[in-house]
Amino acid sequence: KSGFVSIIGRPNVGKSTLMNQVIGQKIAIMSDKPQTTRNKIHGVYTTDQSQIVFLDTPGIHRPNSKLGDYMMKVAHGTLSEVDAILFLVDVAEGIGGGDRYIIEQLKSIKTPVILILNKIDQVHPEQLLPIITTYKNLYDFAEIVPVSALLGNNVTTMLEQIVRYL
Ligand code: GDP
Ligand code: MG
């Protein structure tokens, strides 16, 4: 199985850290050069059975200019074409306006959205359930996967979940 996945989330939630953890030493392609005007490849995760191409999707933020509006349209196009969207949030920070804005944008897109609750090493395990409930009330996520991108906790499970949507 192979396919494309967009990684979205506000700054500092851990998108780059997660990519480093996933791709690690198994770098197949790693390029910061824009592939098109709208995507850049973060990395490609390859096993014998599967290949996941991770795309960085700029423009998922509150537009504050004409350029912002344009970027938003472009991002919307990308998100409609990929097999799954990985929406990263920071559980230590809590849900913010930036997260809510992204969730609003996702409501007009049919692509399955996998919610990644990152930085679980920063919260007590019993804090996780109320956080999950909060997000479940905001959007019908295809999957919800808690991880620590930094420590690598549950990242293998996350990859298994992604492959199901390719
Ligand atoms: P990005 O802007 O979404 O790409 O976020 P980065 O990957 O640059 O991460 C932002 C900060 O959060 C960095 O200082 C990371 O080390 C930290 N970080 C990322 N993931 C985790 C995590 O799982 N646990 C903890 N404790 N820190 C993390
Ligand atoms: Mg980054």
Nearest residue (by CA) to ligand 1, atom 19, is 14
> What whole-number distance in Å separates Cα of residue 31 and Cα of residue 129?
37
The verdict on the CB of residue 121 being under 6 Å from ligand 1 is yes
Q: How far, in Å, is the centroid of ligand 2 from the Cα of 9?
A: 10
Tokens representing 13?
């939630």
Query: Is the interface score ipTM higher than 0.95?
Result: yes
**Was domain 2-163 assigned CATH 3.40.50.720?**
no
Q: Where are the alpha helices (DSSP H) in 10-154?
A: 15-23, 66-81, 97-106, 128-136
In this prediction, residue 35 carries a pLDDT of 42
The verdict on the CB of residue 118 being under 6 Å from ligand 1 is yes
Q: Which of 2, 20, 18, 4 is nearest to 116 (CA)?
A: 18
Question: Over the chain, what is the mean pLDDT?
Answer: 85
Least confident of 38-47, 86-95, 152-161: 38-47
Burial class (CB in 10 A: 0-12, 13-18, 19+), 32: exposed
pLDDT per residue as tens digits for the range 67-92 = 667 767 777 888 999 999 999 999 99
Domain boundaries, the chain: 2-163
In this prediction, residue 42 carries a pLDDT of 73
